[in-house]
Structure 1
Amino acid sequence: MLTEKHTVIVTTPEELLPLLMEAIRAVEEERKTDDVGSQGKRLLSPKDVEYEFGIHRKMLAEWRAEGIGPAYTTFGRRILYERAVVENYIISKRIKTSGYSGI
């Protein structure tokens, strides 16, 4: 026997459309604030590193297993990268090319 009460709302598509648009805008705003918030973080999970720097989590795991890549910290089972360390690691791999000087 069900003891829960359910409410059924009947509406027209014209009344529903503005509600849906408002919900979509709210989700988009939340995503924007999440993006800004993660960029302010000092410690990044492998997922954060992948999202912000484009280095896939599997690649980070391979580098850890091989003892290469940016330095990381473990906290319990969590793996964390310092933002500055990842940025410096990327900069250290920069390859200087000579510019084309002839015509």
Structure 2
Amino acid sequence: MANLFEQNRNYLPGDPELDLIGDRPKLAQWRHKGIGPSYYKLGRKIIYRGEDLNAWAEANRVEAGNGEV
């Protein structure tokens, strides 16, 4: 798989690259619901690792022609 995010980089909510999967409110909603990519919570700071974002994106990949809409 081609990586959508840099593997060895950390991303913070508000980084424009994260808009690829969801805006800041959407990511907050996913964290609240316990879904979405893995993250670290250090105090009040949220950190996403590129490696975790790529793994989450791959897990949500849909093959063409499998009947899903």
TM-score (ref. length: structure 2)? 0.72
> 2:49 matched to which residue of 1?
82
Structure 1 position 91 matched with structure 2 position 58: yes
Q: Secondary structure at the match of 1:84?
A: helix
Structure 1 position 57 matched with structure 2 position 24: yes
Write out per-residue CA displacement over residues 29-62 of structure 1, whole angstroms, 9 at most, x where no aligned residue. xxxxxxxxxx6862110112xx114221111000
Structure holding more strand per residue: 2
1:1-103 matches, within 5 Å, as 42-48=9-15, 51-53=16-18, 54=20, 55-98=22-65
TM-score (ref. length: structure 1)? 0.50
What one-letter code is carried by the residue in structure 2 that aligns with 1:42? R
Q: Which has the higher contact order (CA 8 A, sep 6+)?
A: 2
Kept in 1: contact 2:11–2:50 (CA 8 A): yes
Alignment length (residue pairs): 58
Percentage of pairs with the same residue: 33
What one-letter code is carried by the residue in structure 1 that aligns with 2:33? E
Larger Rg, first or second structure (1 or 2): 1
Unaligned runs of 5+ in 2: 1-5
In structure 2, distance between residues paired with 1:46 and 1:91: 20
- What RMSD, in angstroms, separates the aligned Cα atoms of the two structures? 1.8
Moved over 4 A (4+): none
